Amino acid sequence: MPIATINGIPLNYQVKGTGDLVVLIMGTGSPGRVWDLHQVPALVKAGYRVATFDNRGIAPSGESLAGITIEDMVRDVAGLIELLGGPAYVVGTSMGSRVAQELALTRPALVRKAVFLAGHARMDQFQLTLTEGERQLYDSGVELPSKYRAAITAVMNLSPASLVDQNTARDWLDVFEFSSGKVSPGVRAQLGMDREFDRRVAYREVKVPCLAVGFADDRMIPAYLSRELAAAIPNARYEEIPDAGHYGYLERPEAVNKVVLNFLAD
């Protein structure tokens, strides 16, 4: 993957396919290559040029250990789109949706359409408490046993529908158990971003076409927050994916890809 200096930091990115540009923005703690499992192949097959990248905080992009703001991340994506010759269709998930939302608001000339997977205009008390707990856990130096960490990750990010079948549950738990459980300093910087925001009034000014996608069984960003986001944005559409948790784009990729592709092509 090439690395370009964008907005004052090295940004690790890759581009696949040809056609209109689509930029995919990942959520907290995850590298851009996660999109390669399902979304990049589907978008390339549909005739798009697809860019993925590692957000600041995820090496080898700049880790920004002094702190990260949402404004930093919006400028990063804006710079990448300008580098690649936008405007672009923009798709984000979770924290990446928040970045895409702010980009659509502040730099509409760069955005053809925007899709927000597990998007949200605010966080409720549960998310605020959870994020503070994650920060305290990292700062304490405690490392959870791998099996316990795998179980917690599954419960928080998957639908119960993915855990009913014994073989499917075992596959997911194995992935979570053997993936790295250590939070890097860069991810800690991402966790330090402001979570006490409410952008419902601000998003009334979004003019670009938007789609908010909620995951019916999402515990991290409950679907009602994604519906609320769609209601705040004039003429935004809302779709809800059943039997999907926070990792709905991995659990139900065919369903997610279908609603995204239909929206981009409409």
Task: Tell me whether residue 218 is one of the annotated catalytic residues.
Answer: yes
Nearest Cα neighbor of 28 from 175, 139, 192, 176 is 192
**Inter-residue contact 138 to 184 (CB < 8 Å):** no
Of 72, 159, 217, 246, the active-site residue reads: 246
Nearest Cα neighbor of 110 from 137, 74, 142, 136 is 74
**Inter-residue contact 93 to 249 (CB < 8 Å):** yes
* Rounded distance between C-alpha atoms, residue 24 and residue 115, angstroms: 9
**Inter-residue contact 101 to 199 (CB < 8 Å):** yes
197-219 burial: b if 16+ Cβ within 10 Å, else e: eebeeebeebebbbbbbbbbbbb
**Inter-residue contact 213 to 160 (CB < 8 Å):** no
Query: Phi first, then psi: what are they for 93, rounded to 5°?
Result: -130, 135
Query: Phi first, then psi: what are they for 17, rounded to 5°?
Result: 85, 180
**Inter-residue contact 38 to 249 (CB < 8 Å):** yes
Of 54, 120, 218, 226, the active-site residue reads: 218
Task: Tell me whether residue 76 is one of the annotated catalytic residues.
Answer: no
Of 94, 97, 159, 226, the active-site residue reads: 94
Q: Does an H or E element contain 116, and which?
A: strand 111-117
Residues serving a catalytic function are 94, 218, 246
